[in-house]
Structure 1
């Protein structure tokens, strides 16, 4: 009934690989203006830096950033939200159709771990390009500047650079604890020349975290507490440092930073999440991509996050072609009293689509006639995501201009619980109290945490994170951080992509693209592991 765009998948043939030195350039081009000249101009008028700062955020939602490299359009090429989808696809909590319409299929089957993978190049380019833009701002504004506007811009760039390194270090090596001396990724300083960038070996995990903490320490000192929605402020920097300290098992510091980050924010209420939500910046979001109807990713029609993640969109791959589902075993563990069980729709014994605990209608009206939204949109299977609402909460909305969450206060509360429960200055009982307070107040009034040991408590928090942060790009990092296996057998994953992998399997770290190693021979690579085979337990 609705208009469906007929899509032709682009064959992954020979790649026109271009050197990525431009993406990794840490300095503004000097053919028209030197760094000293730029500094002089910015000192006279600091607002001129604003364009460079805004580019930090526009790069996160850039459309078709690797089109020239690939030689064609790729419908996963819509910014950092696509990286989030790739990461969630690697794990065990987001099954999807294994079909040619699923642009994240090679992430779901883990065949994207090659030197020439378009998805692998996309991730590297996305994060290092933003990092390079951050370096331009950092190089322009000296740390000793006394101008508040300039320091705000420098602080944003430092925090964004830390965000990029925090992602990179978790993607290209195992987690911090136990792997501190393993090779991670190259560190690119704002003072580095192109020649130095082309002879830049991988830093160790510990060295990358040292850079992250250094950047965030300075950012926190100079950023304002509040700012423009979608841009980094001091609270976001605290949140990023809370993530880093949790990864390093610096639990006291993680708790303190998560407390600071959460101040002034309020989680979604039970009423607010009893209907499709997570589509617009609100009181629970510390940071997110603010999307307007005029952004290129929206004007593209279907090359954007809602096209793949919103089951209510009138213009996309989901639903009908490649929907996003929850692991059926995980879903079965969610209590019926938990409002979040309504974030996924199932089919009852009468064959009717239902979602428990929801406060929204299934009806859609077209030309005066009423239709069931599930039938209208062509929903294909149970456990379908209805967490992410349509733009302006309008069913069948073809305008995919939903905002995208990058950090919510709920995550900070979960960090507080985990960190307090595992710290030397806390206890499991104190962690349980924080966890119970959050869940009982905002998700399930009947919830009780039954964990009696640290190991059980870790799993209790992890379970809450798997539900609460589903679809927001956090699940893979938790698998790596907690050293968890990936179990898909006996679930609703299609048989072609169902397997069980052990913790820290050899295929988990990504492969550095040859576009980098070709121009930077000092950058060694991770070993390539064979993709998992259907039905196997490793």
Structure 2
């Protein structure tokens, strides 16, 4: 792997540890635990796992070779929706993610983006390897607490490998997984952490599925987790549902999705409109509990996505939903309220050239109505007078304390996603009734006039499921890999995005004929890894 990984495995996590409960805050950083001692007790193994929970949303600068410009899932979640044009930027603002939306980073082997995602995921794998191998090699007792540790380690390793293989290799359903090059397997638990050569996509999926099966068995006899930052049986099933969906194992995807959401009630209208800023929401299965001492400030999820966060990224660049998606939302669906189609375009630097005043905004004929519309948004949604507004802007993600830079939680997995996975899997198996039954609870909760019976063919169901995913999961990081699974390209012509801003990201051919959907392997990895050569570059 990258030489940087050899500097550290456990010392990698130079962070203030928390047991995911503020009442049990530890002030001793993980780097105070010598590498030789980090696995000496189950308690220390739990600390290592807590470091991984933190690494999910922390700036990667906490590990040697990391970057302060990327803060784990707080960056990757919005970025994957930006890349595919589902989370639309309205202006360049301060430049964050502009290179991503123009397809100038994942296609460049020396970019910070391709290196940091690769590097972070392999740190997860290396840490999980060390835990798993320690327990197996020394025959340690597997009581309920140890089962919890092992369940999490196997689930994290599966999640990391799946993230890598679905991003740095050709999509399972559009390629030939038996022969397509995947990513390297990493077995080592000590320096220099040299990986194997690139395995095939199928070999990596086999490893992922083996880890998930083992994780689920451990979790069945594990102690309970303390917080949703930690993985549990439901989260393991949720990861399995995602993996099975991506490989077209429809029956397994549907089964795992049902098990993943068990006990997690769909949120109601009030909760859906509350800002998506806490893991306390009833349907959150897995998410990062961020406490004030662990804030990433201007590298946080809400900095990139929230129209109420007090940062230049959103003050000058409110994020939009595609007008094509918005126009499909029925008036009876309360989610429409969170996307402001008639928000005044107050930004003179808006990329569509229609911002600055009522004189340029075609939705307004006079200054009074233009100003009144902005005032109403400030009053209802917590957008401040310093924030610009723009037609089709979202107010789905709002920090708890609008107009501040206070930290908020990051959601990784919700029950809604699991209903949609089940529905898609049933539709692909042409079980019309099964897909309708999966969609019905979600649809009826969101739309008081919802009638699932009108989607009575596989084609109608899949079209509706795609719409539901783009609406329900907007801004939650799924769009990029959805496009790959569905083999759909990008055409933002009628979305409201600006060709001038998006450039190469405005139109892209579908993944099966366009290898630019496959991320470049970091050049630093090829240079450092004796088992990779330039011929391995995507």
TM-score range, shorter chain: 0.7 to 0.9
Structure 1 stretch 321-330 or stretch 158-167: which is displaced more?
A: 321-330
Answering whether residue 21 of structure 2 is matched by residue 21 of structure 1, we say no
State the distance in 2 between where 1:206 and 1:308 align: 35
Aligned residues: 480
Q: Relative to 1, partners in 2 of residues 1:120 and 1:100: Cα closer, same or farther, differing over 3 Å?
A: farther
Answering whether residue 316 of structure 2 is matched by residue 321 of structure 1, we say yes
- Does the aligned pair in 2 maintain the 1:337–1:444 contact within 8 Å? yes
Answering whether residue 171 of structure 2 is matched by residue 175 of structure 1, we say yes
State the distance in 1 between where 2:333 and 2:49 align: 41
SS in 2 for 1:407: strand
State the distance in 1 between where 2:524 and 2:144 align: 39
Shift of 1:47: 1.7
Q: 2:412 aligns with which of 406, 411, 417?
A: 406
Counterpart position of 2:480: 476
Map 1:154-169 onto structure 2 (within 5 A): 154-169=150-165
TM-score computed with the length of structure 2 as normaliser: 0.82
Counterpart position of 1:105: 98
- Per-residue Cα deviation, 1:455-513 (whole angstroms, up to 9, x for no partner): 33222211101111111111111111111111112321122215322211221100011
Answering whether residue 464 of structure 2 is matched by residue 460 of structure 1, we say yes
State the distance in 1 between where 2:225 and 2:150 align: 14
Counterpart position of 1:137: 131
- Per-residue Cα deviation, 1:283-306 (whole angstroms, up to 9, x for no partner): 110000110111041xxx322111
Shift of 1:379: 2.0
Normalized per residue, the structure richer in helix is: 2
Q: Relative to 1, partners in 2 of residues 1:169 and 1:225: Cα closer, same or farther, differing over 3 Å?
A: farther
Q: Relative to 1, partners in 2 of residues 1:449 and 1:527: Cα closer, same or farther, differing over 3 Å?
A: farther
- Does the aligned pair in 2 maintain the 1:26–1:135 contact within 8 Å? no
State the distance in 2 between where 1:405 and 1:123 align: 18
SS in 1 for 2:287: strand
Q: 1:147 aligns with which of 120, 143, 150?
A: 143
Aligned CA-pair RMSD: 3.0
Counterpart position of 1:418: 424
Unaligned segments of structure 1, at least 5 residues: 1-18, 365-370, 530-538
Counterpart position of 1:227: 225
SS in 2 for 1:288: strand
Q: Relative to 1, partners in 2 of residues 1:264 and 1:53: Cα closer, same or farther, differing over 3 Å?
A: same
Q: Relative to 1, partners in 2 of residues 1:25 and 1:484: Cα closer, same or farther, differing over 3 Å?
A: farther
Counterpart position of 2:59: 63
SS in 1 for 2:245: helix
Counterpart position of 1:267: 266
Answering whether residue 181 of structure 2 is matched by residue 188 of structure 1, we say no
Counterpart position of 1:507: 516
State the distance in 2 between where 1:158 and 1:26 align: 21
- Does the aligned pair in 2 maintain the 1:28–1:136 contact within 8 Å? no
Shift of 1:405: 0.7
SS in 2 for 1:203: strand
Q: Relative to 1, partners in 2 of residues 1:152 and 1:345: Cα closer, same or farther, differing over 3 Å?
A: same
State the distance in 1 between where 2:381 and 2:281 align: 29
- Per-residue Cα deviation, 1:396-450 (whole angstroms, up to 9, x for no partner): 2331x11111000011111111122223xx6123212321332112344334463
- Does the aligned pair in 2 maintain the 1:25–1:132 contact within 8 Å? no
State the distance in 2 between where 1:242 and 1:78 align: 26
Answering whether residue 118 of structure 2 is matched by residue 118 of structure 1, we say no
Structure 1 stretch 459-468 or stretch 218-227: which is displaced more?
A: 218-227
SS in 1 for 2:319: coil
Answering whether residue 296 of structure 2 is matched by residue 338 of structure 1, we say no
Shift of 1:69: 4.2
Counterpart position of 1:368: none
Q: Relative to 1, partners in 2 of residues 1:79 and 1:108: Cα closer, same or farther, differing over 3 Å?
A: same
Map 1:300-311 onto structure 2 (within 5 A): 301-311=297-307
- Does the aligned pair in 2 maintain the 1:317–1:323 contact within 8 Å? no
- Does the aligned pair in 2 maintain the 1:268–1:442 contact within 8 Å? no
Counterpart position of 1:254: 253
TM-score computed with the length of structure 1 as normaliser: 0.82
Shift of 1:240: 0.5
- Does the aligned pair in 2 maintain the 1:276–1:387 contact within 8 Å? yes
State the distance in 1 between where 2:394 and 2:535 align: 34
Answering whether residue 376 of structure 2 is matched by residue 383 of structure 1, we say no
Shift of 1:362: 4.1
Counterpart position of 2:293: 294
Counterpart position of 2:342: 347
- Per-residue Cα deviation, 1:195-249 (whole angstroms, up to 9, x for no partner): 5x43621111111110111111111011238412210001100110011111111
Counterpart position of 1:432: 436
Answering whether residue 79 of structure 2 is matched by residue 86 of structure 1, we say yes
Shift of 1:193: 5.3
- Does the aligned pair in 2 maintain the 1:483–1:503 contact within 8 Å? yes
